[in-house]
Structure formats: structure tokens, C-alpha cells
Amino acid sequence: MRFILGFIGAVFALAMTCSLFSGLSTYFSSPPTPLASDEFHREPKALHLASDGPFGNFKNQAQLQRGFQVYSEVCSACHSLKLVSFRDLKGIGYNDAEIKKIASDWKVQAPSINPETGEAATRKPLPSDTIPSPFANEVAARAANNNALPPDLSLITKAREGGAAYVYSLLTGFTKQEGYKNEKGEELLKKFPDAKTPPNLHFNPYFANLNIAMPPPLTTNGQVTYADGTPATVDQMAKDVSAFLAWSAEPNLASRNAAGWPVVLFLLIASILGYLAYQNIWHEAKRKVRVTGALDPQNQAKSRSAKAKQGIAG
Amino acid sequence: MSFSWAKPYEPKTALGRWFDERLPLPRLAYGAVGGGYPVPRNLNYFWNFGVLAGVFLTIQIVTGIVLAMHYYATVDGAFNSVNQLIMRDVNAGWLLRYAHMNGASFFFIVTYIHIFRGLFYGSYKAPRELVWMLGLVIYLLMMATAFMGYVLPWGQMSYWGAQVITGFFSAFPLIGEPLRVWLLGGYAPDQAALTRFFSLHYLLPFVIAGVVILHIWALHIPGSSNPTGVDVKDEKDTLPFHPFYTAKDGWFAAAFLLIYCAVTFFAPNYLGHPDNYIPANPLATPAHIVPEWYFWPFYAILRSCTFNLFWIDAKLWGVLAMFGSILLLFFLPWLDKSPVRSGSYRPVFKRFFWILVVDVVILGYVGGAPLVWWRTALGQVASAYYFLHFLVILPIVSALETPLPLPSSISESVLHGEAEEAAPAGQTKRRGGSVATAIAE
């Protein structure tokens, strides 16, 4: 049986070897053409938020509320936030009365039915409703956006590599394609003249294929007017809305971190006490589990053979 | 169970005696994980991972049952029931979900260490062949369960993972495509597939629990293996499972759960893929479809086959190689004929063992990363080595290698004789004294 199995192993190794050589010969005979998106794509910029790391929280509520303002005044024209209910906004510091007002003032009505006729109708949203979407369905969304579908933003920071930093970089990353250089100083359109951004798309090196359907959403300083007087620069608005979207993706993050520390501390103490109990119980058993140094069987064998070579007895 | 000096269960109360005569369940537990199970005294920390695997199976079943109370197995409702209902509205739902999600990863971490422990110390050799094979059955069931569980949130990776993995079956000639359609209940993953995956995902953990019982039963016939691989000879070589190994397993489980909890609470999505937070969309293929990390080595082997050799096309080669890479482990007891179990006393085997570990890590890296020509080539070399290691190198090494001299007994390898000198006469009659008494005799 071992010969049959050995033969099977050799056949699989042969299949891999053939694949290896055919792959390599294809690579060297017709090397793959380099892609503009591989060489000119940029990793997200650094962004530091209060919600980062194991101590992360949502205490910076002024920023989260500013971010919600940017979402409701700018992003919500195209992007839904389907998984978030108005009542959830308590988590960024609004009180019940404010939430009620935000809900009833929302510019899109909640779908409903006419109680008399049963026909489709709309009504003012309630705090218990999820935030109504700007478009009734995907077809309507595509029809209004050059056939591109604006993604739902509820989970966006968890659904993209780079998280909130990616959102921030994307929002501030729109730039002119002419003269754009990567970190190595190569110019995109000189190296890839065919990579010119097609009409209706917008150049953004933080987007995976460099050309995004979304037009720059945050274009001018003061596009929104912050109630707390913070200057609404494009950078500030992008930061704020990224912080808000980090909250919308993981509203339980603060309680998760807060619960994590006692759990870890408990387990730390439990393992220390458990370890001491273990030492105590094993004390009599003369535990010496690992054989090392002069007692290592390999070292013993080495010294034995060395002694034999030298002709020393023992 | 297996050794004559194993302490029999003695009920201490009248109620205990009454119970024992009618249903000897405490007797069973005492003999399996209590004072009545003698275990080699020289086990190192790699022997803790079997118990840990049981801990994680329990965590998965408990969190999973509660999650199933809130989950909707429908293509329209699944994503929202996980990401809205469970993550936002259910009390501590986020904890259940993250504990379950990371519990799966840690279950695999523990299982992989457990398997490689068995590979190094020859735990698959006689008389423990069935222990090893039942373990592999558990591992296969775990893989099926984990795959189906990953489909349930119905995100992009769920959907496309289901598409790719069920697509394996279509590689087989003639029966392949009908088989795939029959398994999925349709031409692509859809409601029928999701419902049956949910049903099986709920069933299989209990099948695993059943096979775990067989695994432990088969283990308790010869008793646990040990780092020297030398058979237990007398009472000096063993310690009762309780309190010695319950204490060792106890503190180590707490320490390991600390790492698990740190990841679950502070970086719950670190081991996952962002694309699974995008709802499933049959019309948009993700740029890089990758399975969860614990499948990466096998995914690398699958993708390594790109050449139509003989009358078998590349896709079928890939599928055969991937299934073969696991199935060959069932033959291990007969591939490695060396009479010496422990890798510690096999200098040549030991070197190849570590090459295999590096090889599997490389395969994992290649399987998880996007395809580039050099990475593909690296994966092909590593895949070829994987097969050669088990099917060619291991039998040859086991036939030719001269092992190092083995200790004559477990107690000799551990105590080096100092116990006899150190144990004062008065100590030999003490409570935990089975050891001391034995030495004194």
C-alpha cells in the first residue's frame, strides 16, 4: 500500500510541477501587463478617532453629531443608512425630544399604507423607524446616478479595508488626474496614457480602480454650518462624517470595549490563581516536564558518541 | 480504565451509592476525567489543546443556539437579522455574535495545534490509529460546519464562498454538475441552499460532539500518549487526571481564553473579511474571493493546479489535490512505520517535521493573498512538497532513520532518579502519595 500511496504522492507532485513550469513559461513568454490601479492606488491616510483601539469610545459626541449633520445634509441625498433607527441617535448624545424632531423633520417620508384604502402612502418618520432611504429601490437609485448604485453607509467602515480612515481618505482624495504622481514620483498619464478617467467618473487614487462614480461630495469650506461653531473645512467635515460612520457601523463599540477590560482582568487573575493552584498540586509530583540541557536525550547521545570517539569510559 | 492501578470509583455518601447502583454516571465521569483515569506524568503543554478544543466546541454550541433564536434563514432577512437585529437590538447580541465568530477561529487554532502535536509525537501510531482517524473525522465535520456557518450571514463572501466551494463538485465528470445542483437545491446559492445550510449548521455540531465521545473513548483504551512516546509501564509513570491535569488544564484554559476574549472584545473583526459586511449580490463578484483563514492552506493547494495533466483537467486536479491533502492523513499510521513515536528521538524526522510546518504556513499565506505570479509559483512548490512529505519522504525516513536511544520508562525520563534521593521517608504515606509510595517501593 505504501508504494501505491507513494505513487499517488508523486503524481500530485508532478501535477504541481507541470503547473509550476507552465505558469512560469506563460509569465516569461507573455508577461502580464502592469495595471495603473496597482501602481497608482494609494493606501488610506492616517486618521485618529476617539473610537480607535481597545480604549475606543464615543465620548466625542460633538464630533459625532457634526458627522451626523454632514450625513443628513450631504450624504443622505444619495446614500441610505438602513440599519440605523432614529432612536439609535441617543448613542451620539441626542435626547428624546431632539430625536423626535429629527425624525419628523427628515426630508424623506417613511413608507406606510393609507389606513382607509390600504393603498401605499407615506407618513412622517417616528423615532422607532429606521432612517428612510433616499431612493425607493435599486432601480430608482441607479436611474438617478448614471447607473451607479450608492452603497448603504450603515456598515461602510466595517465593509471596506481601512475602515474610517478609508472613508476619510476617499472623501478628501479627489484630485485632478493631470499631473497626478504616485509616491515614486511617476506620473500616471505619462506611464499609462490609456488610463484617462472616463466621462461621468471621477479620479480618486484612494478608490481601488482609481475612478469612482461618486462626484466629490464635500467641495467647499462651509458647505454645512456647524451649530457648535467649528469651522466646516472639507477636511473637518470628512473627519466628522467618518467618525459618525464608525459609530453607525458599530454602535456597541464603546460598551464592547468597556466590557472587555473587566473580562480580561478577571481571566488574568483567574489564570494567575489557577497557575498557583497548579504549582501547589504538582509540587509533590516532582514535575519536570521538559528535558533540556545536559539531560536532553539528544545531548546525551552526542556526549556519548563524543566520549566513545575520544575513548573515554562512561 | 486501562491500567490495573486506576482507582475505582467509591461513592462517599448513601445517596451516591444509591445513584451509582442505578445509573453509574458519576462512575463514568470519574473514570474518564476524574481521579480514576491515570495519565502519563510527563505531558507538556501541547497536551492541553484537546481539552481546549472541547471548551471551544461548548462555547460554539452555547452561543450558536442563542444566536439561532434571533437569526432569520431567508435570503432577504439573513443579513439584516445578523447586522441589525443581533448586532444592534438583541441584548448583548453583539457579544454572542462576536464570541461565535471568533470562537470558530479559535476552535481551529486549537485544533491545528492539537493536530500538529499528534504529528510530531506520533500520536497516530499503534495502538491509537482509531483515535487519530476519529479526530480527522471531527476535523472534516468542523470544516463543513464552519463553511456552512460562514454562509449564514449572507454577505458577499458568504455567497461567493458558497458558490466557489459547491463549484468543486462540478469538477467531477458526468455526475459533477447534477450533483452540485442537487446539493444546492438550485443552479446557484439561493433560498434552498441557505435553508439547508442553516439546518445542517445546527445539526453537525452535535454530530461532532458524538464523534468527540468516540474519540475520547478510543483514547481511554490505551490511555494518553506522552512526549517520550514510551509506553506506560507502571504506576510510577502516571498521575490521576484529577487533580493533576484538571489543575493544569484549568489554568491554561483561563490563560488561553484571555487571548480569545481580548480578540473578541477588542478586535472582533480582525480575523474576518470586510466584504462580508456587504450584503450578498449575485451580480457583483468580489475582487478577491478568499475563504476564512483556516481554509487558506487548502485553498492554496486548490489554486496551485493550473495544468491539464493526462486526461484530467486542471480544475479536477485542484479538487482532487485539495481533498487528497486531507484524506492522506487517514493513512498516516501506515505511512510512518517507525517504531519510535516521539519526534524528540527522531533527528531526521524532526527536521522534516519543521519543514512541513513552514510549508503549511507558506501555503496559508499563499492561499489568503491575491494571486501574483511568484506567489502562485511558491504555492505550487509548497503544494508539491506537502504531498511528497507525507507520501514519499515520511515512509523513506521512517525506514532508514536511526532513532536516538529511548528512556527505559516515563518516570526515568522525568525524574532522573532524583526523586528517590529527595523523598524523605515520612513523605511516602502522604495524601497524594500514589507517586511517592510507588517510588519508595
Q: Give one DSSP letter per residue of B179-214, joined into a string.
A: HHHHHHTSSSS-HHHHHHHHHHHHHHHHHHHHHHHH
- Say if residue A160's pLDDT is above 80: yes
* Mean pLDDT (whole number) for B162-188: 90
| Mean residue pLDDT across chain A | 88
- The sign of the dihedral angle between the CA atoms of B374, B379, B384, B389 is positive
Residues B228 and B179 in one domain: yes
For Cα atoms A215, A218, A219, give the angle at the middle one, nearest 5 degrees: 85
Q: Count other C-beta atoms under 10 Å from residue A140's C-beta.
A: 12
Give the tens place of pLDDT for each residue, B25-45.
999 999 888 888 999 988 999
B215, B106: one domain = yes
Distance from CA of B24 to the nearest CA of A (A): 28
Q: Could you tell me the CA-to-CA distances from A274 to A278, A281, B244 in Å, in that order? A: 6, 10, 12
How many domains, chain B?
3
Span of A82-96, A298-312, B65-79, B142-156 with lowest mean pLDDT: A298-312
Classify burial at B224, counting beta carbons within 10 Å of its beta carbon; exposed 0-12, middle 13-18, buried 19 or more: buried
Looking up cell 534521593, which residue turns up?
Answer: B421
pLDDT band at B426 (very low <50, low <70, confident <90, very high): very low
B416 in a structural domain:
no
Question: What is the rounded average pLDDT of the residues A210-231?
Answer: 90
A130 φ, ψ to 5°? -75, 160
- Strands B238-240 and B38-40 come out as antiparallel
Which of B289, B314, B348 is the last residue before a domain boundary? B289
By Cβ distance, the residue of B243, B324, B328 closest to A281 is: B243
Q: Does A55 touch chain B (CB under 8 A)?
A: no
**Does residue B74 share a domain with residue B222?**
yes
Any CB–CB contact under 8 A between A34 and chain B?
A: no
The domain limits of chain A are: 38-82+133-250, 256-299
Q: Which domain holds residue B20?
A: 1-36
Residue B423 lies in a domain: no
CATH number at A38-82+133-250: 1.10.760.10
Assess A283–B contact: CB distance below 8 Å, yes or no.
no
pLDDT at A292: 62
The verdict on B118 and B219 lying in the same domain is: yes
**Are B1 and B137 found together in one domain?**
no
User: Taking the complete model, does pTM exceed 0.80, yes or no?
Assistant: yes
Instruction: Tell whether the model's pLDDT for residue A257 goes beyond 90.
Output: yes
Cα–Cα–Cα angle for B423, B425, B430, rounded to 5 degrees: 80
Residue B416 bears catalytic tag: no
State residue A303's pLDDT score: 79
User: What's the grid cell of residue B84?
Assistant: 441589525
Q: Is B412 a catalytic residue?
A: no
B42 and B32 together in one domain: no
How many angstroms separate the CA atoms of A262 and A270, rounded? 12
> Which helix (H) or strand (E) covers residue A113, if one does?
strand A110-113
Average pLDDT value for residue range B114-133? 94
Please report the pLDDT score of residue A191 as a whole number. Answer: 79
Same domain, B190 and B252: yes
Question: Which pLDDT belongs to residue A282?
Answer: 87
User: How much of chain A is helix, strand and coil, in % rounded to 5?
Assistant: 50, 5, 45
- Final residue of a structural domain among B289, B322, B341: B289
| Domain final residue, candidates B255, B289, B323 | B289
Between chain A and chain B, the number of residue pairs with CB atoms below 8 A apart is 208
Do B271 and B315 lie in one domain? The reply is no
Residue B170 is predicted with a pLDDT of 87
Name which of A281, A282, A290 is nearest B44 (Cβ-Cβ): A290
In a shared domain, residues B173 and B44: yes
Instruction: Flag whether B374 is in a domain.
Output: yes
Q: How confident is the model at residue B373 (pLDDT cuts 50, 70, 90)?
A: confident
Element (H, E) at B98: helix B93-120
Asked if B275 and B220 sit in the same domain, the reply is: yes
C-alpha to C-alpha distance for B339 and B185, rounded to whole angstroms: 49
Is the pLDDT assigned to residue A225 strictly greater than 60?
yes
When mean pLDDT is compared across B72-81, B250-259, B348-357, B432-441, the lowest value belongs to B432-441
Nearest to B277 among A24, A159, A289 (CB): A159
| Catalytic residue (choose from B7, B220, B242, B350) | B220
B265 with A6: Cβ contact below 8 A: no
Does the residue B427 lie in any domain? no
Mean pLDDT of B405-426: 61
| Cβ count within 10 A of residue B296 | 20
B388 occurs within a structural domain: yes
Give residue-wise pLDDT tens across range A33-50: 888 888 888 899 999 999
Please state, in angstroms and rounded to a whole number, the distance separating the CA atoms of residues A218 and A205: 16
pLDDT at B317 over 50: yes
Task: Give the number of other Cβ atoms within 10 Å of residue A41's Cβ.
Answer: 16
Q: For residues A2-29, give the mean pLDDT.
A: 83
Inform me whether the C-beta atom of residue A308 falls under 8 Å from chain B C-beta atoms: no
CATH code, domain carrying B164? 1.20.810.10
Q: What residue ranges in B34-179 does DSSP mark as E strands? A: 38-40
Residue ranges of A 227-246 with Cβ closer than 8 A to chain B = none
Of all residues in chain B, what percent carry a pLDDT higher than 70? 93
Identify the pLDDT of residue A3.
81
Distance CA(B47)–CA(B45), nearest Å, equals 5
pLDDT at A255: 93
> Within 10 A of A281 (CB to CB), how many other CB atoms are there?
20
Average pLDDT over residues B335-363: 93
- List the 122-181 stretch of A: residues with Cβ below 8 A of B: 151, 154-155, 158-161
Give a yes or no: residue B420 inside a domain.
no
B119 plus B267 within the same structural domain: yes
Instruction: Report the alpha-carbon distance of residue B152 to residue B161 in Å, rounded.
Output: 11
Tell me how far CA of residue B428 lies from CA of B235, B241, B418, in angstroms: 14, 20, 15
- Residue A120 pairs in a beta bridge with A113
Catalytic hit among B100, B215, B236, B248: B248
Cβ(A167)–Cβ(A245) below 8 Å: yes
Give the distance from residue B90's alpha carbon to the nearest chain A alpha carbon, in angstroms: 11
B169 and B306, same domain (yes or no): no
Whether residue B438 lies inside any domain: the answer is no
A19-28, A97-106, A137-146, B226-235: range with lowest mean pLDDT: A19-28
In this prediction, residue A32 has a pLDDT band, given cuts at 50, 70 and 90, of confident
Interface test with A, best of B83, B312, B338 (most A CBs within 10 A): B83
Chain B positions in Cβ-Cβ contact with residue A19 (cut-off 8 Å): 304-307, 314, 317, 380
